[in-house]
Structure 1
Amino acid sequence: MDLQKHNLAEKMAFLISIPPDSNLAKLLRFCLATGWNEELAGKSALDIARALIEDPYNLPYWTHEVMGIDKEHSDREWIALGEMGIKDTKEFINTLWKELESLNL
């Protein structure tokens, strides 16, 4: 198996392991809904993802940055953001970290 296929298999295994109603799944659904555009953003998807990991309690501002990069907020972005149900950022992130630690990869 070549490296790209191996990397894809690893990412797929990670996604398959995530409980669908978890905070981690909600965050990933939000990421999928945004359709990040590196050209418009001037930074890579990896850079924006690292920004959240480095400062996870900045999640509310991060979601608006990701949504606003194309200066449009689509219905699917708003729906995904709403489904995250973030009332307390610290609680959401702490639960997400626990979910991530419990994955059996």
Structure 2
Amino acid sequence: MSLVNDWLRSSLGYLREVDDGILKIDELLAIANSRLLTLEKRFSLLDTSRLSVIENPLSIPDILSDLEMRLSAIEGLMEIIDYRLDKARQLLDDSASS
């Protein structure tokens, strides 16, 4: 019984890490969404030829670079989440077969 409890605790630990990773992805997506809105404003300003009204000092290439960086971070977090979920599933399967 103690062995099963240890496996369950380990599985819960991995699932907590997965939850933390999902929260971090949510944060990164919120920032990326903000950057996309800024890009939409920029393109809208370009369409209306009101270039002098741009409020944000970041250039479009800077914003795109920032989005690429955040996407890369999200992809890395998703790989970690997949690993943690696989590990939790494995521990639960091992405990079920014991």
TM-score scaled by structure 2?
A: 0.28
- Structure number, greater radius of gyration: 2
Larger RCO, structures 1/2 (Cα 8 Å, 6+ apart): 2
More helix by share: 2
